[in-house]
Amino acid sequence: MKSSNNKCICVILFLFFVVELFILKMQKQIEQNKINIKLNSAGLSHVPSEDKFHIFLVWKGQHIPNIYLKAFETLVKFHQNAEIMILSNELETKIFSGYNNSKNIFIVKYNLTQMVYQQPGYDFVEKAVKILNGQNINNLVVTPVHISDFLRYFLVYSYGGLYLDFDMFVLRNLESYKNTIGVDQNKSHVCSKKVYDSPKAKQFTCLCNCMFSFDRHHPFLEHALTIYEKWWSECQGYGPGGGTMLFTLLEYYYDKINFMPNEYWICNKYIRVRNNELDDSSPAIQDAINNCFVFHFYGSGDPNFKIENIEKTLLGRVYNRISYYSLNK
């Protein structure tokens, strides 16, 4: 009788395994059909090279407004030798052809299931893909922000390099800033009761996942991927796996991360006046150019985002001067 029960259990386990394989295959096929382009074994239409500095961006939608293209232009100008990859299953591959003289810009199509299978974070992907395909799992919701946050961690963890949001005017080359993330010092934003100090940033209680650079397989990002599903499923909301989640991990990896004050890392020094009109002789323009790494204009990927009279604002004047200097070096 015992032997018979064991056989039944084995048969049930085998059938369960077969069903799981079938479901996995169907998930891959559904995603593949939506992408309509051939992907390699890594689940990507382009695998990052081994000999280039990697820069990753993520875009949702079929159209990129002009202000984001201007921002992308600054990224390209300061990173002629880097490999720049835009993760998007919707953009046409030719949209950046005018910037791609070095043949180093790629719109990368991806299959989440295939890309992350058996990797850190797959527990999130498994549920997210089912929900995106119409299945109800505890009334959980998957938004573009949830996918974007996950993708940025996974890509930099898997291949190493820099991630930045699309809504940033880049003001210098960023390749040398390794294992670096921006933080809000002097308790300007409070995400935690814990307060940290570092050589370059003091009294910080919050960080931003809008731009960061890490080596391949950095344990900080691996841990983030491991807990992503838990934060996403328990918190939901706008960005449950964003800066607040990452901040909880600092106590484990503090000595493995370089912290930069967002005052200059993303130019938050001028966050309240970035869209204000000002004279071209204002010292704020050159201060931003000399000391900021990027100028974050907080468009949040909004396809309708625009700034009135941008050419007369601090942001626009910084862009015009950077463009002039870059083209005339």
Domain presence at residue 145: yes
Q: What is the CATH number of the domain that holds 231?
A: 3.90.550
Residue 17 has pLDDT above 70, yes or no: no
Q: What is the mean pLDDT of residues 52-66?
A: 95
Domain presence at residue 291: yes
SS3 content of the chain, % helix, strand, coil (to 5): 45, 15, 40
Q: What is the pTM of this model?
A: 0.86
Among the listed residues 28, 46, 41, the one whose alpha carbon sits nearest the alpha carbon of residue 88:
46
Domain presence at residue 168: yes
Domain presence at residue 204: yes
Domain presence at residue 6: no
Q: Read off the tokens for 171.
A: 């003001």
Q: How many domains does the chain have?
A: 1
User: Which pLDDT tens digit goes with each residue over 141-179?
Assistant: 999 999 999 999 999 999 999 999 999 999 999 999 999
DSSP run (H or E) holding 328: none
Residue 326 has pLDDT above 80, yes or no: no
Which domain does 86 fall in, by range? 37-327
Domain presence at residue 121: yes
Domain presence at residue 70: yes
Among the listed residues 260, 325, 324, the one whose alpha carbon sits nearest the alpha carbon of residue 294:
260
Domain presence at residue 295: yes
